[in-house]
Structure 1
């Protein structure tokens, strides 16, 4: 799907990060790899440290803290909010929507629109898509997009498949009507959904064949279903083979040459993958930051706003406008991107919370 939105603007990003931090060199003590193997992983994948919310922390709790912080600082007013969109894999409850819980706790107007969406690695981009559509309605003011998960509680530090890249973060992004056009493009390769899957805690009971498949060495060799199972090679091939051609299509649709863009803010599965993708595209590392996993881990739908806040805070809150591509890819298997202009934010910050 390709579509163009007229006159849209991101006006602020607040990245909320957990207090608890683990360093990779400490994690090494818990797995069965040699020190040499661990250090090779660290250098290749960009692992260094990552953060996890406490066991008792839940998504709406952190989002409410962040929104109250914005209210208190005068960066956002309750009466300006027309809609709440929450993109998460870890809602507070199966029902009602976590967006409803946030609106109720904050005593927001009963007239605001609330919805949850579950799009994992492309959650930020698909959340922006929902926000842009909502802003096309008469009388719409600002849409608050909340992304992120509390998926890494009580982590298994012996797991060398997915644990070293995992991390938690919850981000608040404020979107409103403005002067910038946005070109949206998404592709869903649904037949390959099982390359990255969480095969438990839903209402479908995995078959014995599925249990055997997801516990095989191909998926990390773990037989616990309530965890993420990833065929790392399949995901890597998808990003290397499919995503570059999708990005080329996105740029063509936006009428943009790749060298015209100031930034490429990609989803951050690991440093190696983002660097390889940038090389394939012929884009410099300065334009395509790849350091999010190094500092915070892979926070799923929040890696793109975390990347912006960590790498371009001064640029986004300064007086200039930057032409950017935002692209998420992974679980689904799904690709989604937006080519638009960013800058002159009201706020762009990273906060280490007590959660």
Structure 2
């Protein structure tokens, strides 16, 4: 019987842009004398975090990542027919940052371009959107970008989040290939907006526009200072949500894809922090060889953490062509998503 070969979406390559400026544990220990360098590393597993300088923007970082990807793959901007940008730190409230990027890169005006605001699960959502565009015949070559500058929302006197987050951008080329197999597999999603208050910048949107009170700082019981224009995270609630939702997510992805854990070659989770990822790995019974991590030198780079992990694993020869890779993103929203891809 003849096998019908269809156009399937596949990842052609990944590249990243990492700001040169770094926030080290030594700098943090100087700002927070009650936490030593060793204590910060013990709590987070992070040694340093890239932080965008004042001249860098969401678009400039994404453009740099895209240019690196084009050079890596010998691809030209005029071959792109859709730009997807995942960010929670856009250049402006409007216009759409993806439109700014289209013009700066020289992508044809016939291309589509959109932003979507989805944090830690956003990369997996982006792959799903790219797959839909390609396999429905609407696009042939999609540029999926992530670009996050959470540092712009972090109070420098709030060690609860300043020790965790880093800035980074990534670019992924997703294109159609002739294949009888799924290369971007089935996707599983989840949403629970009841957790919205546990990871939030309270002021700056239509509910609470910025006003004279937005920048008044308060000190919490742990000695962290922040204003209503700064990022707030309820770490205990985020951990509880993660340990409850992610194992179920993994079970559902494996079931929908007809895979067992033993069939998974590599696992790339959103890089929240060492404590959370260690708990998840042990609970799900993944081996250390399966479970790829990148938080040590980058911290939590939000939507950029999964593609950054893929690029680093490729550079370190930990990923090989044809391997099955489980991707899981989870966090702000609450929102979560997972899929198995073929590298």
Regarding TM over 0.5, the answer is yes
Change (3 A) 1:222 1:158: closer
Q: Show the 5 A alignment for 1:45-194.
A: 45-72=44-71, 75-138=74-137, 140-153=139-152, 156-178=155-177, 179=179, 180-194=183-197
Q: Say if 2:46 and 2:164, in contact at 8 Å, map to a contact too.
A: yes
Q: Distance in 2 between matches of 1:223 and 1:155?
A: 8
Spell out the pairing of 1:1-355 with structure 2 (5 A cutoff): 7-35=8-36, 39-72=38-71, 75-138=74-137, 140-153=139-152, 156-178=155-177, 179=179, 180-205=183-208, 217=220, 221-290=224-293, 292-313=294-315, 315=317, 320-342=321-343
What residue is the counterpart of 2:3 in the other structure? none
**Alignment gaps of 5+ in structure 1:** 343-355
Normalising by structure 1, what TM-score?
Answer: 0.86
Provide the C-alpha distance between the structure 2 equivalents of 1:23 and 1:155, rounded to a whole number of angstroms: 16
CA distance in structure 1 between the partners assigned to 2:79 and 2:86 by the alignment: 20
Q: Deviations over 1:286-313 (max 9, x none)?
A: 21123x2210111100000111112233
How many residue pairs get aligned? The number is: 329
Q: Which residue of 2 aligns with 1:353?
A: none
Taking the aligned partners of 1:74 and 1:141, their CA distance within structure 2 comes to 16
Q: 1:47 and 1:317, CA in 2 relative to 1: closer, same or farther beyond 3 A?
A: closer
State TM-score, norm by structure 2: 0.88
- Tell me the SS of whatever aligns to 2:83: strand
Whose RCO is larger (CA < 8 A, sep 6+)?
A: 1
For residues 235-276 of structure 1, the C-alpha deviation after alignment (integer angstroms, 9 at most, x for no partner) is: 001111221112111111111101210111000010111111
Unaligned runs of 5+ in 2: 1-5
Alpha-carbon distance, 1:158 to partner = 3.5
Secondary structure of the 2:323 match is strand
